[in-house]
Structure 1
Amino acid sequence: MLPALIQPPPHPQDEASGFPILREDLNCWRLAKCSRAAFLVDGADYFRAFVAACEMARRSIYIAGWDINSRVKLLRGLPRAEDEEKYRLGNFLNHLARNRPGLHIHILDWDFAMLYAMEREMLPVVKLGWATHHRVHLVMDDAHPLTASQHQKIVVVDDCLAFSGGLDLTHSRWDTPEHAPTNPRRMTPGGTHYPPFHDVQILVDSDAAACLGDLFRQRWAWAKGKRLPKPEHRKDSPWPWGVPVHARDTHMGISLTLPAYKLRKPVRQVERLFRDSIAAAKRYIYIETQYFTSDAVCSYLCESLLQPQGPEILLAMPFRSPGWLEQGIMDGLRVRILRRLSEADLHGRLRLYYPYVPNLNNGARMHLHSKVMIADDCFLRIGSANLSNRSMGLDSECDLALECIPGGPDGEALRKAISGLLHRLLGEHLGVPPGLVAAGLEANGSLIATVEALRGDGRSLRPLESAAPDWVDPDILDHSLLDPEKPMAMDRLIDMFFFDTPEPTRRWRAAYVLPALLLLAFIGLALAWKFGPLAEWLDLDSLTAMGRSLHGSPLEPLLVLGALTVGSVLMVPITLMLVAVALLYGPITSFAYAFSGSLLGAIAGYLLGGLLGKDPLRNLAGRRINRLSRAMARQGVLAMALVRNLPVAPFGLVNLIAGASHIHFRDYLLGTALGMLPGVLAITLLGDSLGRLIRQPSWTNVLLALAVIGCILLAAWWLRRRLAQREQEQV
């Protein structure tokens, strides 16, 4: 059951006007006392403060992230190379656990989608799980809808100190505020140089840190099924050596985004805080964001821009996203958002910039990754949430915010701290000392005029003219699919069947080596057929050519069924093989081959999974696959039928998992038959119709093909409508 503060009660949706902006249960989960806070700009400062804080730990260190890499160097430029090796994340955590009796380190790493596999450390469960000290505990966190991610970046030490913001403890994040074009220390664990990287983190203590400890323990319970004990209270008030205190004796708002998942209702405090803080701003709004695709935040800013008297709005964003896929999707969607903002800027109060660093190689650009908002020298938020639809409702996010209320006891000191961070950030991007920014604002009172006066030809802020790649038309991109704001109906359907309690993670055993190698080989085959060179070697044309060579052979039926069986075991995409069979034979023969071959392949995979053994496969396959295994064991026929019609895992891998699960063979075979039947019928009927159309392009065959396609589309429409009705009934 969720604590009341994680899932707040309904609150009147009145408009926020003026101060205070932060209101518990409306736009923040908790409003907690904070004795000291520090603003850490860029990775070098954050990594150094992280090391200093962890070296003060006695009982607990919590780490939650979107990505965590055991090989990242936390400290760089040390006198000896072996000293830097000591401060690689994995080595550092191992050293702390070995030398601090009673210290437990718990790590929640997002159980990432395969789309991000090339960006991440391979086998994190080995590097930060099996290969570490027994008091270093890793869980791959998959307690979220299928298309969501765990995007919070939190570190908590003894419930006394806590970090939050946009920085993960991973590669390609370390940099200094100088953002030199060529810094030899700015290198990945694999030895590759990366462009300048900018981000911001916040360090808090006292009650605010304890609240983030509560949040981590709640997430651990969701992911692991077991609640961690609260660490013993420390009488001292630790603070990491060398970290300056920027704000004292204030209150910190903690705002969350949590998607609807199983029994958990959605939490959208991050979006509400954007709405309230934008509406309250009077003089200026300054925002740094990696992405800007949020329709909701765009509407709030447009509403402000349309007012005759309102704040100046300055947004700093990256020139473009780093990867081609992100450029096509997120930059394409950003074009539409920025077009809306420009059209609403009737009074000339909007400026869009990107940070420019000269002399970078191969057209590289500085990667602005921060998520910061400052308004009127009185409001500051630092967090993990981008200005994207996902961050408003689908991904898990955590933003920390503070405000100084005019006339309040901490007003003037906090105002200086907030404005001081603004001067640091703008000075960094403009390549000038923060004092020049402060002087410019003091002289003319305009944020835009100050920036324009200080912009230069070298390192500076440059006007952003957002554009999508040539191969993308921004006007046809579907944000509800590419940048969804909430879990899709299909996600909730999967969650309904896969609701379970996770098993404890087991340690490494020597007996797992051979199963591990075999499992990795099968996964590698599945990836190679989909993304690697095998996909080019074996395509539909080559398969149909091989099939034609069997025509007339007395062994043709055995050879076709044998090829389907062996292909399934070798992870050849099942759909590709079934389409080839459908094109080679008539509807009745192709259906008999396809259906029988699918069942034979499923039986072979089931037997092979049984040979690998239950325990090794469970400990090696990862949490999402284990969850699938337990669901199949419990739900039997129904679960197998569902899995066969959803893109949960490749056909061959599902067979292996089922063989290593507790599902009875009878239930497995019956569920597979029921689940495969509609797909096999659709493929063989459509394949036969298209084959006739290609061989004999008559009007009769054209109409027959269109009729088959229409039936398939009608069935898909009916299923989509049923899911939508389910969704409306649950709202």
Structure 2
Amino acid sequence: MNRNNSSARVFALAMAGGFLLFDGCALKMGKQPRQEIAPLYSARSPEFQQAAGSLLGPNFVSGNAITTLVNGNQIFPAMLGAIRSAKRSISLETYVFEDGEIARQLTEALAERAQAGVKVNAILDAQGTQKMGRQNLERLRNAGVEVAKYHSALWPDPRRYNNRTHRKLLIIDGKIGFVGGVGIADLWTGNADSPQHWRDNHYRVTGPVVAQLQATFATSWLKTRGQVLHGADYFPPLAPTGPYLAQAIRSGVHNENLDLMYLLGIASAQKTLRIENPYFLPDDLMRKELAEAAKRGVKVEVVVPGKRIDQKLARLASRRHWPELIRAGVRIFEYEPTMVHVKLMIVDDIFVSVGSGNFDNRSIRLNDEANLDVLNRSFAAQQTHLFETDKRRSRQVTLDKAGGLNFANPMQQTAGLVAPQL
């Protein structure tokens, strides 16, 4: 045995062991789905809507309008405009808040509204906002913004540090909501036209489903501050504003909503299943469901980041399982221009899920997530157009390429070992 390879393998395994020792302590101890969900009905059927409403929390509600915002050039002006229009309340929950031009603009907009008497509540993940900058935090607090840091210390329970809020929520006056995958950082600005500017979608929402988004934020506020947000400032009457049927689902350490939603969507697919996600690390059951969908004739396509990804280990771990999926008929594409951070699932051109949830164990079992599910052909067509545009800028991974991965490589082994924790 080559001594260098042997030493590298020992180092890789030690890395994985240490990672698992700390990271594994936060994994859920409760029950997770262990068996396939039988494909009993399609996403077009009333049974699907009933099952999704019953299993995932709130029921679908009608009368919503949803605007798709593509990349920072559309996303941040819409968010800043909504903040500046606030009259009664602003609720912000985010994972990434990194000092820079857009962070300073958002900070100033929130501070100005708080000084004008608007109730501004912000939940900032302690890990994701380490680069926020003291001046931004002090500006918010001095202006009267109620800031809650999510799980800011290891003590008294180190396991909770691994539970992050990964939600990206902004609710204005309880009437306008924003949900998606975008954090507050300059790398999300622009139009994804260079490797320094990421590709992402975000969504502006009005109508009755905004109350469900506000309720998701309210659960986080109760968890971090012990305060109940209620009353018309946060939950005003909401009239219909559009044609979309939608539900807002939340997932965290105490429920499996994200896992169930993905499994239910895959099981209900009869013709097409499109997935776009930056961290595509499905577990054994999810991979089995995807393979079974492809084998029963569903056109399964997945768009993921290529070499321009911020988490190299996640890409290594993901690629380790691609040959089995490709052999089953799943088509995988790597987006090439820049980092793609879109989180999107489209089932049979009618059911769409967007939000903060990744296709990995961290999102499914460790983090707090928020997704918006929509049952509407027109909305699905819009998202399919964006998906196909991204797919055209991607390279399909063929079996000879995927099969050529070196599984004896120490880093490949490490990636495989830590994949359940990513």
TM-score bucket of the superposed structures, by smaller chain:
0.7 to 0.9
> How far apart are 1:321 and its partner, in Å?
5.6
Of 412, 415, 418, which residue of structure 2 is paired with 1:474?
412
Give the gaps of 5 or more residues in structure 2. Answer: 1-35, 153-158
1:332-387 deviations in whole A, cap 9, x for unaligned? 21022212212323xxxx32112233xxxxxxxx0001100112211111111111
CA contact (8 A) 1:42 1:174 kept: yes
Of 290, 294, 302, which residue of structure 1 is paired with 2:291?
302
CA contact (8 A) 2:64 2:246 kept: no
> How far apart are 1:204 and its partner, in Å?
1.5
Instruction: Output the CA distance in 2 between the equivalents of 1:380 and 1:218.
Output: 24
Task: Tell whether 2:244 aligns with 1:250.
Answer: yes
CA contact (8 A) 1:374 1:380 kept: yes
State the match for 1:484 in structure 2: 421
- Mark the CA change 1:470 to 1:64 in structure 2 (over 3 Å): closer, same or farther: farther
Q: Give the counterpart letter for 2:395 in structure 1.
A: R
Task: Tell whether 2:44 aligns with 1:44.
Answer: no
Task: Tell whether 2:181 aligns with 1:180.
Answer: no
SS class of match (2:56): coil
Instruction: Output the CA distance in 1 between the equivalents of 2:208 and 2:244.
Output: 11
Task: Tell whether 2:64 aligns with 1:35.
Answer: yes
State the match for 2:136 in structure 1: 127
Give the gaps of 5 or more residues in structure 1. Answer: 1-12, 75-86, 182-193, 240-247, 260-265, 358-365, 404-413, 431-459, 486-731
Instruction: Output the CA distance in 1 between the equivalents of 2:198 and 2:407.
Output: 22
Of 335, 350, 364, which residue of structure 2 is paired with 1:355?
335
Give aligned pairs, total: 370
Instruction: Output the CA distance in 1 between the equivalents of 2:208 and 2:387.
Output: 28
Of 141, 164, 180, which residue of structure 1 is paired with 2:150?
141
Task: Tell whether 2:275 aligns with 1:290.
Answer: no
Mean alpha-carbon deviation: is it higher for 63-72 or for 13-22?
Answer: 13-22
- Mark the CA change 1:236 to 1:212 in structure 2 (over 3 Å): closer, same or farther: closer
- Mark the CA change 1:321 to 1:297 in structure 2 (over 3 Å): closer, same or farther: farther
Of 307, 311, 321, which residue of structure 2 is paired with 1:337?
321
Q: TM-score, normalised by structure 1?
A: 0.47
State the match for 2:357 in structure 1: 385
CA contact (8 A) 1:34 1:207 kept: yes
Instruction: Output the CA distance in 2 between the equivalents of 1:470 and 1:145.
Output: 34
- Mark the CA change 1:131 to 1:288 in structure 2 (over 3 Å): closer, same or farther: closer
Instruction: Output the CA distance in 2 between the equivalents of 1:128 and 1:34.
Output: 37
Task: Tell whether 2:211 aligns with 1:210.
Answer: yes
Of 53, 61, 82, which residue of structure 1 is paired with 2:90?
61
Q: Which has the larger radius of gyration?
A: 1
> Stretches of 4+ moved more than 6 A in 1?
235-239, 468-471
> How far apart are 1:401 and its partner, in Å?
0.9
Instruction: Output the CA distance in 2 between the equivalents of 1:236 and 1:65.
Output: 24
> How far apart are 1:300 and its partner, in Å?
1.4
State the match for 2:200 in structure 1: 199
> How far apart are 1:14 and its partner, in Å?
6.7
1:197-235 deviations in whole A, cap 9, x for unaligned? 111112222221111111111111111122233343657
Of 162, 166, 173, which residue of structure 1 is paired with 2:177?
162
Higher relative contact order (CA 8 A, sep 6+): 2
SS class of match (2:231): coil
Instruction: Output the CA distance in 2 between the equivalents of 1:386 and 1:172.
Output: 19
What is the root-mean-square deviation of aligned Cα atoms in Å?
A: 3.0
Q: Give the counterpart letter for 1:46 in structure 2.
A: I
Instruction: Output the CA distance in 1 between the equivalents of 2:396 and 2:87.
Output: 49
State the match for 1:314 in structure 2: 301
SS class of match (2:60): strand
CA contact (8 A) 1:163 1:201 kept: yes
Task: Tell whether 2:30 aligns with 1:97.
Answer: no
State the match for 1:463 in structure 2: 396
1:665-713 deviations in whole A, cap 9, x for unaligned? xxxxxxxxxxxxxxxxxxxxxxxxxxxxxxxxxxxxxxxxxxxxxxxxx
Q: TM-score, normalised by structure 2?
A: 0.79
- Mark the CA change 1:60 to 1:70 in structure 2 (over 3 Å): closer, same or farther: farther
> How far apart are 1:140 and its partner, in Å?
0.7
Q: Give the counterpart letter for 1:368 in structure 2.
A: V
SS class of match (1:172): helix
CA contact (8 A) 2:182 2:188 kept: yes
SS class of match (1:368): coil
Point out the structure with the larger strand share: 2
Instruction: Output the CA distance in 2 between the equivalents of 1:321 and 1:468.
Output: 20
Describe how 1:275-286 pairs up with structure 2 within 5 A. 275-286=263-274
Of 163, 166, 173, which residue of structure 2 is paired with 1:151?
166
Instruction: Output the CA distance in 2 between the equivalents of 1:17 and 1:478.
Output: 34
Mean alpha-carbon deviation: is it higher for 62-71 or for 159-168?
Answer: 62-71
State the match for 1:272 in structure 2: 260
- Mark the CA change 1:429 to 1:197 in structure 2 (over 3 Å): closer, same or farther: farther
Instruction: Output the CA distance in 2 between the equivalents of 1:482 and 1:421.
Output: 29
Instruction: Output the CA distance in 2 between the equivalents of 1:155 and 1:208.
Output: 13
Of 371, 378, 390, which residue of structure 2 is paired with 1:399?
371
Q: Give the counterpart letter for 2:321 in structure 1.
A: I
Q: Give the counterpart letter for 1:416 in structure 2.
A: S
> How far apart are 1:398 and its partner, in Å?
1.1
Describe how 1:219-618 pairs up with structure 2 within 5 A. 219-232=220-233, 248-259=242-253, 266-295=254-283, 296-307=285-296, 310-320=297-307, 322-323=309-310, 326-327=311-312, 329-345=313-329, 350-357=330-337, 366-403=338-375, 414-427=376-389, 430=392, 460-464=393-397, 465=401, 472-477=410-415, 479=417, 481=418, 483-484=420-421
Point out the structure with the larger helix share: 1
State the match for 1:583 in structure 2: none
